[in-house]
Amino acid sequence: MRGPLGFEQTTQPPPLANPDNSDIKRSRNYAMQPPVIPHKIEGYQLDKNANRCMMCHARTRTQESQAPMISVTHFMDRDGNFLAEVSPRRYFCMQCHVPQAGLNPLVGNTFTDVDSMLKKTDGKQETPAARKK
Ligand code: HEC
Ligand code: HEC
């Protein structure tokens, strides 16, 4: 993946790709997937002093920004209690949400959407009851 260079040599990193800025939401591959970011985030401060993302995605900012609000799960602590503000474990948005660019994946994968899998079974979905027989 790093090219035909010896392991003791440092490779030239590829130029940064131009990220998607279309503002078009992409469908999620499964229900619990963190949605990917459909806009540029270049220069947005995201550290212990400031969270630029929350300037648009916080509950109180969405009317002005027209951004989707962080969902209720973002207010939950690990014991399932709802906090007044974004939970510390959801503070660093980019742990889970990432911008997109039109690049070729370095590693292939065979992920199949659950809907496509259900369609493949031709409506003959295996139910727990059928499996027992
Ligand atoms: C200037 C306001 C603004 C800022 C700052 C901002 N966003 Fe957004 N974001 C939006 C808007 C508006 C949308 C709706 C789609 C669009 O217009 O791009 C959006 C969409 C998204 C979505 C897609 C949600 C979905 O349902 O598909 C994600 C994820 C997201 N933003 C994450 C972030 C993260 C992470 C940051 C900080 C690094 C950030 N945003 C900073 C305004 C903002
Ligand atoms: C630990 C992973 C994680 C972190 C950190 C995180 N998110 Fe999310 N986010 C998710 C997941 C998973 C979903 C989809 C399921 C859900 O809503 O919980 C989501 C959903 C969203 C959505 C879509 C909400 C909707 O109702 O359509 C937005 C917007 C968003 N996150 C913004 C943010 C912002 C802004 C931050 C930082 C303040 C952040 N997230 C931090 C995992 C994360």
Return the closest-CA partner of residue 106 out of 9, 22, 39, 17: 17
Give residue-wise pLDDT tens across range 64-108: 999 999 999 999 999 999 999 999 999 999 999 999 999 888 899
Q: What pLDDT does 129 receive?
A: 60
Task: Tell whether residue 55 is among the known ligand binding residues.
Answer: no
With cut-offs at 50, 70 and 90, classify the pLDDT of residue 123: low
Give the angle subtended at the CA of 99 by the CAs of 95 and 104, to the nearest 5°. 110
Q: Are 36 and 25 in contact (CB under 8 A)?
A: no
Ligand 1: atom nearest CA of 36 is 29
Give the angle subtended at the CA of 66 by the CAs of 74 and 20, to the nearest 5°. 85
Q: Which residues contact 41 (CB under 8 A, 6 or more apart)?
A: 19, 52, 53, 94, 99
Question: Is 80 exceeded by the pLDDT of residue 131?
Answer: no
Ligand 1: atom nearest CA of 23 is 18
Question: Is 70 exceeded by the pLDDT of residue 124?
Answer: no
Give residue-wise pLDDT tens across range 5-55: 888 999 888 888 899 999 999 999 999 999 999 999 999 999 999 999 999
Ligand 1 centroid vs 37 CA: distance in angstroms?
6
With cut-offs at 50, 70 and 90, classify the pLDDT of residue 122: low
Backbone phi, then psi, for 129, in 5-degree steps?
A: -65, -45
Q: Which ligand is nearest to the CA of 66?
A: 1
Q: What pLDDT does 27 receive?
A: 94
Q: Where are the domains positioned within the chain? A: 34-102
Ligand 1 centroid vs 127 CA: distance in angstroms?
39
- Is 116 in a helix, a strand, or coil? helix
Ligand 1: atom nearest CA of 38 is 18
Residue type, 87: S
Whether residue 61 has its Cβ less than 6 Å from ligand 1: no
Question: Is 70 exceeded by the pLDDT of residue 125?
Answer: no
Question: Which residue has the CA at smallest separation from atom 9 of ligand 2?
Answer: 34
34-102, what's its fold? Flavocytochrome C3; Chain A, domain 2 (1.10.1130)
Ligand 2 centroid vs 35 CA: distance in angstroms?
7
Distance CA 126, CA 33 (A): 25
